[in-house]
Structure 1
């Protein structure tokens, strides 16, 4: 470890100066105060404005940089936190919240080297809350001679409402962070730092934010290193497609009585409401994991901060070298499981840390948005290592599933991508597995989400009541790792008697297990589990084998769920001659059309063949019944309920819950969907007096054909399967 030690010595012997408590920034003079921390003087500046207050016509808009001011601005107390709900562990009093909240804070150690290294902390909160005031980095600043900034940003709808309009472009909260980072880059020299020595670090949504800044050309030029703690841009809690974001925004506006005729009117209505009402939690009729509430998340915005999905951006080489340190904690979702059981009033007794096998299977919907078959497959896979016995704790297994899906696998994917797409990048990975006795949480919580923050910020060094000597040892090690990485791009620090922290690369996949003793090497963090989850949760593609779990996927059964999953309405009842019901497709894929009744319940399925395919397609047989021409497509439709009720009254919720998808099968065989639909017999014996003939059961044509004829048809699961044969593609009903 000669190089890091040598560099640190150079830093310490550089000519040094003292930063005053009054600083002339590029937009005005600020005056802070000095506090003594660990016997060292720390100049502190709280409540430095970096943007104009996002109020009035600036609500929902991208941030406007702060205009210069005259005189000296007092920066000796925190500004108000951004308006937010009481959620997770955040419960900031209403008096300490407001929309005038775009401020940053700075802690600068006196003495030491002239041009210090700077770390910029981005707090987490699920993009729903943010409590910058609760993050006090004075100890890490004093202990490691590092400048630390913290920044506030808008969350929830005030920070991420997306209405596909310049006045609500989405990602306002990320843009807040971005211009704060630029402000720091532009002014850091006046605080004793260097614009070439800036590291971003953040936890959870803050970690995902750091990942976004790596991916965005808006922020990337203004920092050199990044630390991502338990977060990634490409997860269910950190990204929505524009379609999901827009549907979410429209449902949000409707719940507040602001669903107007035009987007401009909707925005004006939302701007007229109190910030506390706009930022309040909404729980949709069908809560979806992992957040369950109506969350407004980063998306592809109208400004260009995020130009493509994170998954696509991650595949592109970065134009500059950015060293990355990233990792997770051992039991990421334990707290969230307890929180959501209580929030959603789920009748599972989790507080004592013991659940039954039956409750274990009932827990899966809290952990992953998947159909019943996929959830059962995941649950079974994680129990397999314990067979023929039972696991010591079903709750621990459930925590492993949720932690892998929502945190460990996405973070590992970032490490793998950064080291392969950008092979010159330096990547270090960790798993924090040290459990302290403080704060006093149930034993089964284990090493819960964000528990490393107190150690990174040095809380045990100034609290001898709640923390032990071991806690202080771990905290000192964590602070040295983080700041040595910020200073050198390598977390290994001089005079360390423990083993080196090895780089992560795509071949060895080494990571560091941080516990109470000397950290140990790990390899391939949750690798087998992540490969399994990637396969079982991967988007389904067309396949010939009906027995393969990649050939079919359960479809959404309600119109509400279809909207949440990105389906778009293409026709309504009575819109098009010959077509029936409310029809939805996803990604303009007309091979699969879902049909809903006027109550929003599944009513049928359809497929459409373009009228202008090459090579003479469609053939003549596709131009007559049961194929109905509408626009540029020939449609074939099957209904699971009587077509006569679909556009008149639909099925009530009670009947829908009793019948599932439906109890019948009708094939539309003419332009009149009611008069021309033929009902298929329930039993094979019912076809003997009809024109139907029994065909063979071929492996690639679906074993369910025989099952349908031999048993009564009860469609309790709607399976996506191809419907037709279309120019070398096969589609079956």
Structure 2
């Protein structure tokens, strides 16, 4: 069951590149001397210092392709930090072509945004973009407003995507996770060099949304990252989500080789790798696209258990409170949040599927029959061992047979609950339980007055709530929303809300507390495993709640595993009975055979 999310990131790309074009008209050049060399930057229209396209890793070509990244090191002369960094190889879109976005294999670069007047080392916030591990880039997000609002240094980073970043054969030859290794190398570069730009290397917060949030969560479970960052914000994406990790069957060496035109050699598999390293960028991107076109709700390309960064499934790590992964995780202050309708990605369901089953999700929505007899069995087949009892229970919990509009809204809620909310609450609970070292915070983003720009033109009449990635409007984009869609109307309350969120995010980066250092009132309370308090983020309803969607979370955390356990127990009993019947047959029949033979 294919869901496409590329249009979200296309619009993010467009809106930021429009801003960059505006910045190009009035750049005040500056030059900075760093330990790696001199770099030219500029002061933008928001009165922030910006340095683009700083290399942290060597170009991943030749033997560096499908391998861990290597540090870039020093550069000669004055480096040009005024031109936008390229995107890592990905599928071209209308916006990328229209705005002439540069895509280049030599993409292991980062961008730095700082206030103009820096008198002391400032806390650092490192943004990791989302995009399903296949699209997006550092230039999709302008960090200048956040840097200026909170008096922090903001860094946005590129990392390899698709097969370039996550190809894995499940062996020691091609382990995978190269995109995660890129992120780690970028963090090491920041640790070693950010002081040259006014940042404090000991006060680093990593944050990201969707696959970026999942990346942040994964990085927070790698003990060797200790010292690279001390706080983490995970927005609509965590490591234990069913779509954060590639747990399903991987494409075989032979299948991927065929896509790339490289024959598989049973005797010498290294020859396949050698061939693949000669394949050009466009062919690898086409292969990535082809793999996603045949994908179900499982993640076809992404992080994997490699025996090095990740030694076992996240669920096993979460169940082992004494593990070094959990000890490191609980040493960090964290914020984890979701949007009320993160399942809005369903709106982008493959049109071919909609046509085949005779519905239009943008108009009348999902039918009860499609939800319960097609969509849910697909999800259950992918993630719950194909257990029909789970499919029936999900249908009973979410399906609305007599109201198609409400059935559609519940389908959005279900998708959000399964892939975003429930894993977020599980992550929060694991972090907060018996944790006296660090702080835990949860938010629920519910502001829906400005539909996100990727949805604005096609938002179905039945849709309600804040869609996936809508929180990004207020962190990054509020000032330029109308550049992309003049029909959207913003007012003072939108800017006030954006300022509030930016203050909360940067307060957390500075103090480990979104309320600030000396707040008398706990406007945003900590999350405790027994109470599960959260802050609702909304323009007119910034309120504290408890146990958000508790019934649904309990259903997914207790009822569904119970159904799977019952099925597993029944299967073991069936196998046991069959074995006993076979032994009974031997006991009864064999002596008779012997007597017959003797007779």
2:265 equivalent to 1:260:
yes
Secondary structure at the counterpart of residue 427 of structure 2: helix
Q: CA deviation at 1:137?
A: 1.3
Residue 391 of structure 2: which of 375, 387, 398 is its match?
375
Number of equivalences: 535
1:276 pairs with 277, 282, 295, which one?
282
Shift of 1:165: 4.4
CA apart distance, 1:240 = 2.3
Q: Go from structure 1 to structure 2 and tell me whether the alpha carbon gap of 1:350 and 1:29 turns closer, same or farther (over 3 Å shift).
A: same
Output one character per residue of 1:195-225: Cα deviation in whole Å (capped at 9) or x when no partner.
Answer: 1211100001100111111111232321111
Identify if the C-alpha distance between structure 1 residues 166 and 310 changes in structure 2 by more than 3 Å, giving closer, same or farther. same
Change (3 A) 1:538 1:276: farther
Could you say which residue in structure 1 is the equivalent of 2:61?
Answer: 55
Aligned equivalents of 1:400, 1:42: Cα separation in 2: 39
Partner of 2:448: 435
| Native 8 Å contact 2:341 2:464 kept in 1 | yes
Q: Which residue is equivalent to 1:364?
A: 376
Question: What SS does the aligned partner of 1:221 have?
Answer: coil
Specify which of 173, 177, 202 is matched with residue 171 of structure 1. 177
Runs of 5+ in structure 2 lacking a partner?
A: 1-28, 591-599
Select between 448-457 and 64-73 the one with higher mean Cα deviation. Answer: 64-73
2:309 equivalent in structure 1: 305
Report if the CA contact (8 A) 1:213-1:219 is conserved.
Answer: yes
Partner residue, 1:447: 466
Deviation, structure 1 residue 36: 3.1
Query: CA–CA distance in 1 between the matches of 2:304 and 2:94?
Result: 23
Q: Does 1:395 align with 2:395?
A: no
Structure 2: distance between partners of 1:104 and 1:623:
73
Q: Is the 8 A contact 2:39 2:80 kept in 1?
A: yes
Considering fraction of residues, name the structure with more helix: 2
Deviation at 1:497, TM superposition (A): 11
How big is the shift at 1:158? 0.5
Once the 2 structures are TM-superposed, how far is the Cα of residue 473 of structure 1 from its aligned partner?
1.9
CA deviation profile, 1:319-340 (whole Å, cap 9, x unmatched): 4721001100011121334333
Distance in 2 between residues matched to 1:26 and 1:311, nearest whole Å = 42
Whether the aligned pair in 2 keeps the contact of 1:86 and 1:92 (CA below 8 Å) is no
1:288-322 deviation digits (Å, cap 9, x = unpaired): 2155xxx21111225x2223322233333324721
Q: Distance in 1 between matches of 2:96 and 2:534?
A: 31
1:133-172 pair list within 5 angstroms: 133-172=139-178
Among candidates 122, 128, 136, match of residue 122 of structure 1? 128
**CA shift at 1:51, angstroms?**
0.3
The two structures, once aligned, show a CA RMSD in angstroms of 3.5
CA deviations 1:363-417 (Å, max 9, x no partner) are 325655343442222011224xx79x75751100111111000100011110000
Give distance in 2, aligned partners of 1:608 and 1:240. 35
Tell me, what secondary structure is at the counterpart of 2:433? helix
Per mean C-alpha deviation after superposition, the further-off stretch among 340-349 and 206-215 is: 340-349
Give the structure 1 partner of residue 33 of structure 2. Answer: 24
Task: State the 1:355 CA deviation.
Answer: 3.2
Q: Structure 1 pair 395/213, CA: closer, same or farther in 2 (3 Å)?
A: same
Contact 1:118–1:149 (CA<8 Å) still a contact in 2?
A: yes
How much does 1:154 deviate?
0.5
User: Deviation string for 1:545-575 (max 9, x for gaps)?
Assistant: xxx555357xxxxxxxxxxxxxxxxxxxxxx
Structure 2 vs 1, CA of residues 458 and 278 (structure 1 numbering), >3 Å: closer, same or farther? closer
2:510 counterpart of 1:487:
yes
User: In the alignment, what sits opposite 1:551?
Assistant: 569
User: Which protein is bigger by CA-based radius of gyration?
Assistant: 1
Compared CA separation, residues 246 and 356, structure 1 to 2 (3 A)? closer
In the aligned structure 2, how far is the partner of 1:394 from the partner of 1:88? 33
Give the 3 Å change call, closer, same or farther, for CA 286–100 of structure 1 in structure 2.
closer
**Structure 2 counterparts to residues 217-256 of structure 1, below 5 A:** 217-241=223-247, 244=248, 246-247=250-251, 250-256=254-260
Give runs of aligned pairs for residues 504-583 of structure 1, distance below 5 A: 504-538=527-561, 548-549=566-567, 551-552=569-570
Change (3 A) 1:287 1:212: closer
Give the CA deviation at 1:421: 5.7
What is the rounded CA distance, in whole Å, between the counterparts of 1:397 and 1:207 in structure 2? 24
> Where do 5+ consecutive residues of structure 1 fail to align?
1-19, 543-547, 554-588, 593-605, 610-617, 627-733
Alpha-carbon displacement from aligned partner over 1:591-614 (angstroms, at most 9, x marks no partner): 98xxxxxxxxxxxxx9999xxxxx
After superposition, what is the alpha-carbon deviation per residue over 1:567-595, rounded to whole angstroms, capped at 9, x for unaligned?
xxxxxxxxxxxxxxxxxxxxxx9x98xxx
TM-score by length of 2: 0.80
Instruction: State the match for 1:471 in structure 2.
Output: 494
Distance 1:332 1:88 in 2: 25
Q: Give the superposition deviation at 1:540.
A: 7.3
Q: CA deviation at 1:104?
A: 0.3
Within 5 Å, give how 1:5-20 maps onto structure 2. none
Change (3 A) 1:396 1:64: same
Whole-angstrom CA distance in 1 between matches of 2:376 and 2:237 = 21
CA contact (8 A) 1:225 1:486 kept: yes
- CA distance in 1 between partners of 2:190 and 2:499 (Å): 27
Contact 2:447/2:466 (<8 A) preserved: yes
Q: Specify whether residues 301 and 212 from structure 1 end up closer, same or farther in structure 2 by C-alpha distance, changes over 3 A only.
A: same
Structure 1: how far apart are the matches of 2:269 and 2:469? Answer: 38
Structure 1 distance, partners of 2:76, 2:473, is 38
> How far is 1:111 from its partner?
2.0
Tell me if the contact between 2:202 and 2:229 (Cα under 8 Å) persists in the aligned partners: yes
Kept in 1: contact 2:48–2:148 (CA 8 A):
yes
Decide which of 354, 357, 374 is 2:365's aligned counterpart: 354
Q: For the residues of structure 2 that align with 1:248 and 1:55, how far apart are their CA atoms?
A: 23
Q: 1:287 Cα shift?
A: 3.6
1:373/1:252 CA distance change after superposition, 3 Å: farther
Distance 2:583 2:165 in 1: 52
Query: Residue in 1 aligned with 2:44?
Result: 35
Distance 1:353 1:180, change over 3 A: farther
**Equivalents in 2 of 1:264, 1:94: separation in Å?**
37
**Cα distance between partner residues in 2 of 1:324 and 1:430:** 11
Query: Structure 1 residue 333 and structure 2 residue 333: aligned?
Result: no
Please tell me whether the aligned partners of residues 470 and 516 of structure 1 are also in contact (alpha carbons under 8 angstroms).
yes
Match of 1:502 among 517, 520, 525: 525
Q: Which has the higher contact order (CA 8 A, sep 6+)?
A: 2
Deviation readout 1:116-162 (Å, 9 max, x if unpaired): 11100000011121232111111111122111000000011110111
